[in-house]
Amino acid sequence: MPPRLSPGLSFVCLALAASAGAQVSAEGPAATSANALASKEGSIVPAPPPRRPGLGISGPGAVHSDRWLKMNQHATGSAVKAGLIPDLKPLIADTQIRDTIVLLGGDGNYYLTGSSGNDIWDHNDGVEIWRSPDLRTWSYLGIVWSFAQDATWERNWRWHRKPVRALWAPELHYIRRLQNYFITISMPPGNRGILRSTTGKPEGPYANALANDGYLPRGIDATLFEDDDGTVYFTSDGGGTIWQMNADLGGFAGEGHPIVFEKPADGSYTRNSVAFEGASVFKRNGKYYLTGAAFYKGRYSSVAAISDRIYGPYAHWHEAVPCGGGGDYFRDKDGNWWCTLFGNDDQAGFREMPAIVRIEFDSEGLIHVAKDQPGFVLNEAAVTGSR
């Protein structure tokens, strides 16, 4: 496995480590039993027996488990009843997705992706993408990157309480300066990478964007942000460090910048990073928003902090969207802002399904769930009085 390198090192060093690691296939450690490796978190282990087809996808042909069905039966919807979030319905019916991401692409269509499959703590098949012209009707584009056909360093199974091979929280990004699509990926228990479309199309195919088939050891929930001047930044996990990327996104342009933020005075949040995981960055009216997921008052919520500069310091930490952790923020073609969500706590109205909620900003720039929601995001019983 690759040596443990500092995240501040360039991708040149990381790529060399990755090249060495990529040569260690399931055949390498086969002489060592999985039990002997069990105590080594992240160790490469022999592949387990083939999984049942359909368990590793969320699109057509997906197989649902009793776990997911029971999880939804136990969702209390208490945050809905308390008026913290609207009575939302999934964008795509009967579709199990975690870490929902929605992007307005360069072609004027919306694209949706996320952690797919029945159990991402076991396996999935790759990155699935859906497309919509209007956020209302979605068509399935398929698996645009798969372990079976496209993986290089990602192909190995690793130990995370058991053998596991899955992509966590893939995000589709359109980089305007390069007029191309990129996908940030993460793998349990912690490796991150960036994929680049080889055709300039969101459906790919995709190849490693990092030099020499590189990747970042450790860490999850990788994300990108393109600033107004075309500079692209990278962060991950809870947003504790932000790096500037070089021109072609093949590596970092320098050392990472640790992020300082002002914690809430009431002591309701005490972590040393803005979020627990699922970091995401966007910009509005010249202000940078560093957001992510955090467990807050029993909810898996989207939290945010605000700064005048990309590297901070950040202030005004707040719970932005209750039960909205694990997604991103985007602006639609009409200028409305949205937060994605998927339901990762029992206060939500459902569990592990893709949804969006319209947001608004107060005079201080703080994020709030909008009072007026369009009918297509709401359950039928909640549509009365909506727009």
* Residue 160 falls inside a structural domain: yes
* Residue 2 falls inside a structural domain: no
pTM: 0.91
User: What pLDDT does residue 226 have?
Assistant: 99
Question: What is the sign of the dihedral through the CA atoms of 151, 222, 28 and 16?
Answer: positive
User: What pLDDT does residue 38 have?
Assistant: 52
Residue type (1 letter), 345: D
* Residue 1 falls inside a structural domain: no
Per-residue pLDDT of the chain (387 residues; tens, 9 = 90+): 333 333 333 443 444 333 333 322 333 333 344 445 455 999 999 999 999 999 999 999 999 999 999 999 999 999 999 999 999 999 999 999 999 999 999 999 999 999 999 999 999 999 999 999 999 999 999 999 999 999 999 999 999 999 999 999 999 999 999 999 999 999 999 999 999 999 999 999 999 999 999 999 999 999 999 999 999 999 999 999 999 999 999 999 999 999 999 999 999 999 999 999 999 999 999 999 999 999 999 999 999 999 999 999 999 999 999 999 999 999 999 999 999 999 999 999 999 999 999 999 999 999 999 999 999 999 987 765 444
What share of residues in the chain are helix, strand, coil (percent, to 5)? 10, 35, 50
Residue from 346, 329, 307 nearest 76 by CA: 346
Q: Which domain holds residue 139?
A: 11-382
**Which tens digits make up the pLDDT trace of 41-76?**
999 999 999 999 999 999 999 999 999 999 999 999
* Residue 3 falls inside a structural domain: no
* Residue 6 falls inside a structural domain: no
Tally the domains of the chain.
1
Question: Do the beta carbons of residue 143 and residue 150 sit within 8 Å?
Answer: no
**Which tens digits make up the pLDDT trace of 114-142?**
999 999 999 999 999 999 999 999 999 99
CA pair distance 115, 2, nearest whole angstrom: 25
The CATH code of the domain that includes 28 is 2.115.10.20
Residue from 257, 247, 186 nearest 218 by CA: 186
